[in-house]
Amino acid sequence: SSGINAEWPLRPGADDTINKEYLSMGGLPSFCEAAMKLALGENSLAIREDRAVAIQSLSGTGSLFLGFQFIAQFYNGPKDILVSNPSWGNHKLMIDRIPGLNFKQYTYYDAKTLQVDIDGMLADLEKAADGSVILLHACAHNPTGIDPTQDQWVKIFEIVKRKSFLPFFDMAYQGYVTGSFDDDAWAVRYFVENGLEVFVSQSFSKNMGLYCERVGNLTFVSGSAEVAHKCLSQLKIIVRSVYSNPPAHGARVASMVMTNRELRPEWETNVRDMHGRIRRARSALHTALKTCNVPGSWEHILSQNGMFSYTGLTSRQCELLIEQHHIYLLKTGRISMCGLTEANAKYVANAIKDVIEATKGE
């Protein structure tokens, strides 16, 4: 057996129009349209009014890069990029290497409560220059796994609107927080539906497992169709100057999955299953920590979202987990929940207990 599903629309010979010719600078149109609708909603007014445009990118990293390059070259406001503290390490890496952009941080994580420090965040945003660019994690904040509540998002929106910030959403984990693409895009859609111009970066590495295919999309929503398409034209020129055009295969797969009436429901079920598997891993670790009488409160393991969790462990405790127990995590205390199972949760819990007791008083 070849292992090829006879019903798979992209199987060899299924479509004689598919070839190895270059895509255009903007990428595969059917993919861009489907990805934009996934972010903004099937019935998005911005899409219907042609105020939203999209361009295929080299996964989420590539879409962030395109947006940052566009801001550096064409944005008329302050070139300050406000980023949560902490954030994904690549955000700073990219911003620092693009001439003209200024990396700035705002408070996000409260190490004592292990929750969003919403008061500290809002206070920092009040102090930022009007018109700054604010980078926001749409859902499943990386690395903390802690997202604002809807009420907190509304408060963030009010400051963003009043201070004329340009919101730039990084949405790499859509579907992984609630199991629903629509629910996970709530913040993005709230900002757009309430009249803000936004950038939205998307990755299909996680929710489609297309890691090595580098499948991403950058959506821009403007107040007018004319401005939106002028911006799209400049984004295409940036693509031309860097890599000419994006790869086709992964985009074709993603487009087919998102638009095929049989494959789309199956994909949605797959993502819900992954969301459920991560929730079970969280529950298993939380139960093991409680059963093993590990010191401290571990409710944050359950309340955090997505693939990652900020455990609250110190750098020294993380080093001991790696060196003595071969449990690998970042020294910030961030762990990948996907590496946990019901079978290894007790081992991990006992190891955490051991390093906490070993560092008592340090």
Active site residues: 88, 170, 206
In one-letter notation, the amino acid at residue 134 is: I
| Residue 265, H or E segment | helix 263-291
DSSP string, 7-40: T-TTSTTS-TT--SPPPPTT--HHHHHHHHHHHH
For 247, other C-beta atoms within 10 Å of its C-beta total 17
* Burial annotation 65-101 (CB, 10 A radius, 16+ → b, else e): bbbbbbbbeebeebbbbbbbebbbeebeebbeebeeb
What 8-state DSSP symbol labels residue 339?
G
Rounded distance, CA 32 to CA 134, Å?
24
Distances (CA, A) of 344 to 172, 282, 307: 27, 12, 17
Q: How far is CA 314 from CA 140, 336, 355, in A?
A: 22, 16, 10
DSSP string, 145-174: -----HHHHHHHHHHHHHTT-EEEEEES-T
